[in-house]
């Protein structure tokens, strides 16, 4: 049966200019390049300049995605920005980006699902487009996690980085089969029982402060590898596709060991896994669109390829989306 699909029309990303390597961190805290690489695969990360709020990163990523799509802001009627590091408590970073793009039409809102934010945002935009209410969505993941880190806590601050990525999703009629281009299926989950495993210890409604990131690293590792498999299996089942048919697996880039262990558990061949955590660190909601952009620009992801995105993040939240590029 024919149905509206959300097709990826363009992609772009932006990384702040300043690169901080593990060797730079060695100079200011009790850590080592070897420890960080062995435990996480991270070699370096980008850190936003003082005058670069999250929206500034998001605007540049959005402009790059629009240019790639051959579109202008006038063609967009929906902006969803996935972020846990908004410029302000309100207005939303999405409206800041809307303003920065010179847009005053359409709708813009933020979506907060921490590291799963981009997957949630893709799923949400897809449902808006499939309903017929909107035609073209800018889906953005933008973060400045450097601002919510405790730089005296070596167990967390070495893991994260700043950046933004964006895609343009466009509504188009498909046949309703897994051969269609576009978002074929998405599966979202959360379980608030784990809310204290990974959290920020402040907020406007509790401490009236921003707070800093806290994490029980070992538990997060265990859950990250154990939990995400259900939503990936659900995506294959819902579309009648298999890990063998998958061309690219683009997971949230938190930690190389989590990524490789998850891929192995899911039966996905290592050569199909896109890894950028070595160069970006964990950029939370920005990590998947940043990784997708790298793999598109270097020629790996091509039109028609079957691409699985998946993530797990604070909450816990987790989710997957299967996209025919």
Q: Does 38 bind ligand ACO (CB under 6 A)?
A: no
d(CA 229, CA 187): 11
In the bound state with ligand ACO, the residue whose beta carbon lies nearer, of 226 and 240, is: 226
Q: According to CB under 6 A, which residues from 94 to 123 bind ligand ACO?
A: 115
Distance of closest approach, residue 213 Cβ to ligand ACO, in angstroms: 8
Query: Would you call 252 a catalytic residue per the annotation?
Result: yes
Distance of closest approach, residue 219 Cβ to ligand ACO, in angstroms: 8
In the bound state with ligand ACO, the residue whose beta carbon lies nearer, of 258 and 266, is: 258
Query: Would you call 152 a catalytic residue per the annotation?
Result: no
The closest residue (CB) to ligand ACO is 217
Tell me the residue ranges of DSSP E strands in 89-176.
107-111, 136-144, 162-174
List the one residue from 18, 33, 135, 154 that touches ligand ACO (CB under 6 A).
154
d(CA 131, CA 52): 36
Tell me the residue ranges of DSSP E strands in the chain.
3-14, 18-21, 44-47, 78-82, 107-111, 136-144, 162-174, 182-190, 198-200, 213-215, 248-251, 306-313, 317-324
d(CA 250, CA 173): 25
Residue of 46, 252, 280, 296 with catalytic role: 252
List the one residue from 6, 13, 22, 40 that touches ligand ACO (CB under 6 A).
40
Residue of 22, 46, 81, 115 with catalytic role: 115
Q: According to CB under 6 A, which residues from 276 to 305 bind ligand ACO?
A: 282
Q: Does 82 bind ligand ACO (CB under 6 A)?
A: no
Phi then psi for residue 181, to 5 deg, are: -80, 155
Site string for ligand ACO, 205-234 (x = CB under 6 A): ----------x-xx-xx--x----------
In the bound state with ligand ACO, the residue whose beta carbon lies nearer, of 168 and 312, is: 312
Query: Would you call 282 a catalytic residue per the annotation?
Result: yes
Output the six-digit token pair for 230. Answer: 């259900």
d(CA 298, CA 306): 17
d(CA 22, CA 34): 9
Active-site residue numbers? 115, 252, 282
């Amino acid at each position: 049966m024919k149905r509206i699909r959300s097709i990826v029309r363009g992609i772009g990303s932006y990384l702040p200019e300043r690169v901080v390597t593990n060797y730079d961190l060695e100079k200011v805290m009790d850590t080592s390049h070897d420890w960080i690489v062995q435990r996480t695969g991270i070699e370096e990360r980008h850190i936003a300049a003082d005058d670069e709020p999250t929206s500034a990163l998001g605007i540049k990523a959005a402009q790059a995605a629009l240019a790639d799509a051959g579109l202008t802001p006038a063609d967009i009627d929906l902006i969803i920005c996935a972020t846990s590091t908004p410029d302000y408590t309100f207005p939303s970073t999405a409206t800041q980006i809307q303003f920065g793009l010179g847009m005053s039409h359409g709708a813009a809102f933020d979506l907060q699902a921490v590291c799963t934010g981009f997957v949630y945002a893709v799923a949400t935009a897809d449902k808006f487009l499939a309903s017929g209410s909107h035609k073209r969505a800018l889906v953005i993941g933008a973060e400045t996690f450097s601002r919510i880190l405790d730089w005296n806590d070596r167990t967390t601050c070495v893991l994260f980085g700043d950046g933004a990525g964006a895609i343009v999703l466009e509504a188009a009629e498909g046949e309703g089969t897994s051969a269609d281009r576009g978002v074929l299926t998405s599966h979202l989950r959360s379980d608030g029982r784990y809310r204290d495993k990974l959290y920020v210890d402040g907020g406007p409604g509790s401490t009236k402060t921003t707070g800093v990131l806290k994490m029980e690293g070992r538990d997060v590792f265990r859950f990250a590898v154990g939990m995400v498999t259900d939503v990936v299996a659900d995506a294959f089942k819902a579309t009648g596709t298999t890990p063998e048919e998958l061309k690219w697996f683009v997971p949230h880039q938190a930690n190389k060991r989590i990524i490789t262990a998850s891929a192995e558990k899911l039966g996905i061949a290592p050569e199909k896994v896109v890894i950028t955590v070595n160069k970006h660190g964990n950029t939370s909601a920005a990590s998947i669109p940043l990784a997708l952009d790298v793999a598109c620009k270097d020629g790996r992801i091509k039109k028609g390829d079957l691409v699985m995105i998946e993530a797990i993040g604070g909450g816990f939240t987790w989710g997957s989306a299967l996209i025919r590029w």
